[in-house]
Amino acid sequence: MLLRILGLAIAVTAVAVCVRTLVLEWPRISGSLASADLRWIASGVACAVVGIWFLAVLWHRCLAVFGSPTALSSTTAWFFAGELGKYLPGGIWPVVGRGELAHRGGVSRSVAYTTTLLSAGLMCVGGAIACVLFTPFLFGDGLHLGPELLILLILPIGLVLVHPAVFGPILRAVDRASKGRVSLAAPPWGRMVGLILVAVPTWVLIGVSSTLVTQGLGFDQQPGRVAFAAVAAWIVGFLCIPVPAGAGVRELVFVLVSGLAAGPAVAVAALSRVMFVAIDAVAGTASLLWLRTGRQTASADRSVVVADQ
């Protein structure tokens, strides 16, 4: 309960700071929004959709590595439907949603929940790799580099944690703590590194998406820094588990790191937030309908079989 209250307090404070900036800078921002080039914005949306889908691919690969191969279409539907839960306070609901949907689809709860959590961690390590890829552009711009580079530490930490020498004891500890309900073996290090690499396209595309949105709004930018800021903001927002969907935190980090003036940075962050919420809403709703239709079809087929017998 205390964490939930703290998370909501952080979210409200961060949102308030962003809203205040938006109001103060509105005369400048409103003109950019009115004259926005929708072709750039649409390209940004397309990159974002494909990028988020790669996270579903990551989870799909995780399930296969831990002995529960599934159809990519089903995994994608479970992923997007479960993502609707991230807008609820507490941070656990995407895990519960995706885990339960996968379990209904035939995956054991231990594998469903473990791979959901694991894919979230691997996702962050993949984000750190993307930040490494964007870092040379920061030096090329001759900009001051600050504490934002601490995000890069996630990469070596993550690579160490997924090594069987470390990951194996962690899984054995989980096995003992769960009294045998979660009994999984650590895969080879190469396979775990391969899973991390699956997440990298997500973050490259999300970084590119933010640069395209910034271009569409007509703001001057250093594309490498904007891309870096977008990825760093997502990771920090994700790590703030009590904050629903990283609300406000993600935007605030982007404003601080992007190199844009405060008003344009808030405008880009706000438009990107609306864009990703819309993607979650459309993809999540479509996935729920697809899953429901699939269950109804399966039930109808079983009824026909019983009737024929």
- For residues 293-304, one letter each, b for 16 or more C-beta atoms within 10 angstroms of the residue's C-beta and e for the rest, the string is eeeeeeeeeeee
Token look-up 């026909």 returns 304
The predicted structure's pLDDT at residue 12? 56
Per-residue pLDDT of the chain (309 residues; tens, 9 = 90+): 554 555 455 555 545 655 555 555 555 556 566 677 889 999 999 999 999 999 999 999 999 999 899 999 999 999 998 888 776 665 677 788 888 889 888 899 889 989 998 998 999 999 999 999 988 877 655 555 677 788 899 999 999 999 999 999 999 998 899 888 888 889 999 999 999 999 999 999 999 999 999 999 888 888 888 999 999 988 888 876 555 555 567 788 888 888 888 888 888 888 888 888 888 888 888 998 988 886 544 433 333 333 334
The predicted structure's pLDDT at residue 237? 80
- The pTM of this model reads 0.82
- For residues 44-70, one letter each, b for 16 or more C-beta atoms within 10 angstroms of the residue's C-beta and e for the rest, the string is bbebbbebbbbbbbbbbbbbbbbebeb
User: Domain coordinates of the chain in residue numbers?
Assistant: 49-293
pLDDT, tens digit, 9 for 90 and up, residues 74-93: 999 999 988 887 766 656 77
The predicted structure's pLDDT at residue 244? 56
Of 308, 228, 210, 306, the closest CA to residue 264 belongs to 210
The predicted structure's pLDDT at residue 179? 84
Of 208, 234, 232, the closest CA to residue 221 belongs to 208
Of 50, 73, 75, the closest CA to residue 65 belongs to 75
The predicted structure's pLDDT at residue 298? 40
- Cα gap 266→21, rounded to integer Å: 7
The predicted structure's pLDDT at residue 97? 82
